[in-house]
Homo-oligomer: A and B are copies of this chain.
């Protein structure tokens, strides 16, 4: 995880806020709780952030997504379906897992976050476009069946998105299915479905 001792006061507050709000929701946590979890006084929280709402919004600014995905499609592809899908898959889960708690917050407290949803929706849309174009290009090279690249890309994305969210919420509900074997199996399945 992370060591609160080495962080600045505001970082510790953001860290505590993310942890608690992702668990209990914005309205389920008090500013006292957050301050206590950060090892600071409530007063410091308000001095640093002014309001609880602003603390939440500052926390949400830690959401990072796009960079890796953008470079992914320009650098790491080898134009071999199964290998590329696995690369996409791994990158996707890495990014999603890094933002795990922020995603939980945005699901629970969308009502508190005007505009955030709209912004964060751009990211999967971009990925969908990238993947679709990749499928089209692969089709032109004769390495992919030519039917409906956008829906195929969407299906692949949804299978990964579903697995991520399932893991996020259910966690240990499927003790026999870990993420890593799932990635391999699902990528193999899609490769078999899409190879001519």
- 11 A-B residue pairs with Cβ-Cβ distance under 8 Å, sorted by A, are A27-B28, A28-B111, A108-B109, A117-B169, A152-B185, A157-B162, A158-B159, A158-B163, A161-B165, A162-B163, A193-B193
Residues on A lying within 8 angstroms of B by beta carbon are: 23-28, 107-112, 117, 121, 124-125, 128, 148, 150-152, 154-155, 157-163, 165-166, 169-170, 173-174, 176-177, 181-182, 185-186, 189-190, 192-194
Query: How many copies of this chain?
Result: 2
User: A148: which B residues are within 8 A, CB to CB?
Assistant: 185
CB-CB nearest in chain B for A107:
B107
Partner of A154, one of B154, B169, B174: B174
Asked if A154 meets B182 with Cβ closer than 8 Å, knowing A25-B109, A162-B163, the reply is yes
